[in-house]
A = this chain, B = another copy of it.
Amino acid sequence: MSVLGIDFGGTKVALATADGGPPLRDTLRLPTLAPAGAAQVVERALAAARTLTRRPTAVGVSTFGVVSRDRIRLAPNVPGWDGLELPRLLREEFDATPVVVHNDVNAAATAELRWGALRGVDLGIYLNLGTGLGGALIAGGRVLTGAHGAAGEIGYLLGADPTRCFATGNAPLEEMASGGALATRGAALLGRDITTVSELFDLVDRPDIAALLDTAVDALAAAVANLCIAVDPQRVVIGGGMMSAARHILPRISALTARAVPFPPEIVAARFVHDAPLMGAIALALDAAQDVPRR
């Protein structure tokens, strides 16, 4: 058995084959070339897939955006991706081979469930604190994708001013506390580019940087505590690029959760950080392959 995983990201597409769990067999990366639109990304990715494997047992795909009713939604990063019928295009390519498509955060949560920090967890929460913010709910040991594929889209959580919201083109929590927002605001304060959020945490002696980070981490901690109050999970697993500053972020999230949640869950770092969505695509493919008769 060999499965194929494809992770469509805003800047790169990653592909891999695997025979089971980690390690991966062959991997391949290509730039998304976002301004050139959705069609060329899909075409180049499928051409690359053919060089990796001709007959995978199953295909798992992770993508930015929300997979809703066989189309991708809420995916502004690549022109044409919003509304794209990605599942249909993939079924046409792979014919009778099972294909599963989820958004990148749900895929990453699937990898954590299968091999990582969510193993054995019946009721849990996975959070991805990266350039954007996303989450996934785990119930019955499975990822709950939501009625429209949008469960865990925590970037839209309301802040103090509820008039700034999805309808006004805002994603309040993401604009306050995501890695992307912190990089943009930090760069403006410093007058130079920022590569990772941990660079900012190294500069907390500057009051303006400290204030920026405090506001963000406080907002994240309150959001996590409120999610835990609502869901009462066993465990919260946190991944994503902001985990480069995990030692500054996790203890503050844990501390507020311990105070604000009647039965506080464990708060732990994810196993997969950089390659979580690709590992998730492989995990989705392996799940789908279980339903395929052996050849």
Residues of A whose CB lies within 8 Å of any CB of B are 66, 68, 73-74, 122-123, 135, 137, 139-140, 144-154, 156-158, 160, 162, 165-168, 218, 221-222, 225-227, 229-234, 256, 258-263, 265
Contacts and interface: CB of A to CB of B under 8 A. Distances in A.
A232 B162 contact: no
B135 A123 contact: no
B263 A150 contact: yes
Contacts of A152: 230, 232
B229 A156 contact: yes
Contacts of A137: 230-231
B165 A260 contact: yes
B74 A149 contact: no
A169 B154 CA distance: 27
From A73, A160, A230, residue with most partner B Cβ within 10 Å:
A230
B230 A230 contact: yes
Contacts of A156: 229, 260-262
A167 B230 contact: no
Contact of A140 (B140, B149, B154, B227): B140
B140 A123 contact: no
Contacts of A139: 139-140, 144
A221 B218 CA distance: 22
A32 B205 CA distance: 58
Nearest to A234: B147
Contacts of A73: 262
30 contacts: A135-B230, A137-B230, A137-B231, A139-B139, A144-B231, A145-B232, A146-B263, A147-B234, A147-B263, A147-B265, A148-B262, A150-B232, A150-B262, A150-B263, A151-B230, A151-B231, A153-B229, A154-B230, A156-B229, A157-B226, A157-B230, A158-B260, A162-B221, A162-B222, A165-B225, A165-B259, A166-B259, A166-B261, A227-B230, A230-B230
From A66, A144, A147, A166, residue with most partner B Cβ within 10 Å:
A147
Closest 9 pairs (CB-CB, A-B):
A146-B232, A148-B263, A167-B259, A165-B260, A151-B232, A147-B234, A150-B232, A139-B139, A156-B229
Contacts of A150: 232, 262-263
A260 B166 contact: yes
Contacts of A261: 156, 166
A148 B122 CA distance: 12
From A74, A144, A150, A226, residue with most partner B Cβ within 10 Å:
A226
